[in-house]
Amino acid sequence: MSAELSPAEKGKFISARRAVDYVQDGMKLGLGTGSTAAWMVKCLARRVQQEGLQISCAATSTRTAELAKSLGLDVRALDDLGWLDLTIDGADEFDPELSLIKGGGAALLQEKIVASASDQMIVITDPAKEVASLGAFPLPVEVIPFGAMTTKALIEQMLTEMDVAGREVTLRMAGDKALRTDENNLILDLHLQKIGNARELSLMLNQIPGVVENGLFIDICDIVVIGDGAGKVTVKDISDGSSHTEAVTVTAADYSFADPKQ
């Protein structure tokens, strides 16, 4: 691909390429899902091809697994790999404590399992995803199909006692049918606008029968890499509270592979 990227896509590419620098030979990696993660998979495959890295990967969705395999990466089941060294994934929102909302791509369950089974999680994102308080992005909750509307009603009732600014709950659709996850579950999107206590909300949601998992990632992310289409990348590390920005030069040759699949 030689066409110029939009600023948004350039930012995604910059963050993905920078995050791949953390990968070392012999690592077992978790591969995230979404448009930014797709750039990461392509950048990772290029490093493997150019440097001969020996790595193995667990994917967080069927579409990520298919993309990674098509690029020659060694993709295995998470149970076959055991504990992972590093997971690199995107996010829909992140706050100053590097708490996240994830699940815009309906892969939050596998994403949370893989990230929780890793020594370190790096999130790749863009400046628009940084917020002072989580909640502007609808919070996804994965629920089993049986009694899904009852589960929805229980969530709505629970939200009346939570510190949130909105309480609308909608069933995520794919065309005229309810969207199904890789595990054949459903997604409820919670339009909360602002979450006062994300930790409490996460715990309360997961106590409701029918809820499989929610899209709040608390105390899981270690580093956020923020790519800016203007030509810079910022790295925030929760372990030492550091934040530094680097200038980045990107040419068409750097992203000359095919467009990432969503």
| Numbered residues of the known binding site | 33-36, 89-92, 102-105, 129
CA distance linking residue 92 with residue 125, whole number of Å: 8
DSSP state of 128: G
Structure tokens at 107: 């892969």
CA distance linking residue 234 with residue 244, whole number of Å: 6
Which residue among 9, 111, 142, 213 is the active-site one? 111
| Binding annotation for substrate | 33-36, 89-92, 102-105, 129
CA distance linking residue 71 with residue 68, whole number of Å: 5
CA distance linking residue 174 with residue 172, whole number of Å: 7
CA distance linking residue 57 with residue 74, whole number of Å: 6
Any catalytic annotation for residue 97? Answer: no
Structure tokens at 19: 């995050």
Q: Which helix (H) or strand (E) holds 169?
A: strand 168-171
CA distance linking residue 7 with residue 119, whole number of Å: 32
CA distance linking residue 180 with residue 177, whole number of Å: 9
Active site residues: 111
